[in-house]
Amino acid sequence: MPRSKMEFGRYMRQLELQDWGVEGQNRLGDSHVFMAGVGGLGSSAGIYLAAAGVGKITVCDSDRVELSNLTRQTLYGITDVGMPKATLAAQRLKAFNPQIEVEPNISEIDHAVAGGLIEGSDLVLDCLDNLETRVAMNRAIIAAGIPMIYAACSELTGHVSFLHPPETPCLECFVSRMPPAVEPPIPGFTPGVIGSLQAMEAIKHLVGIGETLKGRLLVFEGMEPRVDVLEIERDPDCPACRGLS
């Protein structure tokens, strides 16, 4: 695929990284990422994916912007309250980088539609805020064999892991370790940090540099502050990936 000089000028500082180069940039440009949710995590992750030149991003969210979102959902401003997040997020990300394709989807994610939504994508970002929807997405990525970067946060704590079962555990293998999902208090910087780490994992995987968090759970504790990276294993009794090989 021919790429213009202007396009590479934009990406010059990142493609100077070891093992990135024009080839890595082209791999990123040929990638399609499905973002499940564009709230706090999605605002942060989405900006870095778009700016880095991920060729196609689908932003999926059925919610509308609420006033109490604005401390952390940095893609939106006061005049956006009441508007659909997916539509706005697609406009904003496209404005950051007109060289990429950004597709909005206002579907509600559930077991019935999750598989169809992620069809054709290379990677899923779990930027969701509730367990039920996460489980639907977990089942869909297992069925499709598409990797997913899980992230979740609550208060000043955040989690990130790279899931690609059966090579790694699935979400339901370690669900009991996840932060609570019922509207916890949360400052904006927690999803800012965690969404950035999610973008980092996504871009490393798509470009093909470094090591990802496969089989490991990064736990960020902002209050202390500290970061731990824990080994995680598949649960042989997991209801979602039991017997998968």
Site for Zn ion, rule CB under 5 A = 170, 172-173, 238, 240-241
The distance from CA 51 to its chain's CA centroid, rounded to whole angstroms, is 14
Nearer Cβ to Zn ion (185/236) = 236
Q: Tell the smallest beta-carbon distance from residue 152 to Zn ion (Å).
A: 16
d(CA 113, CA 107): 8
Residue 49 or residue 240: which is nearer to Zn ion going by CB? 240
Cα–Cα distance, 198 to 194 (Å, whole number): 6
Residue nearest to Zn ion (CB): 238
In angstroms, what is the minimal distance from the CB of 244 to Zn ion? 8
Q: Rounded to the nearest whole angstrom, what is the least distance from the CB of residue 65 to Zn ion in the complex?
A: 34
**What are the backbone angles phi and psi of residue 104, rounded to the nearest 5°?**
-85, 150
Least Å from the CB of residue 236 to Zn ion: 9
Read off the amino acid at residue 62.
S
* Helix then strand then coil, % of the chain, to nearest 5: 40, 20, 40
Question: How far, in Å, are 37, 87, 201 from residue 106 at the CA level?
Answer: 10, 8, 25
| Three-state DSSP state, 210 | coil
Q: Which is nearer to Zn ion, 100 or 146 (CB)?
A: 146
* Least gap, CB of 165 to Zn ion (angstroms): 6
Query: 127 vs 173, which CB is nearer to Zn ion?
Result: 173
Closest to Zn ion by CB, 161 vs 190, is 161
User: Is the CB of residue 149 less than 8 Å from the CB of residue 168?
Assistant: no
How far does the chain reach from its first CA to its final CA, in angstroms? Answer: 35
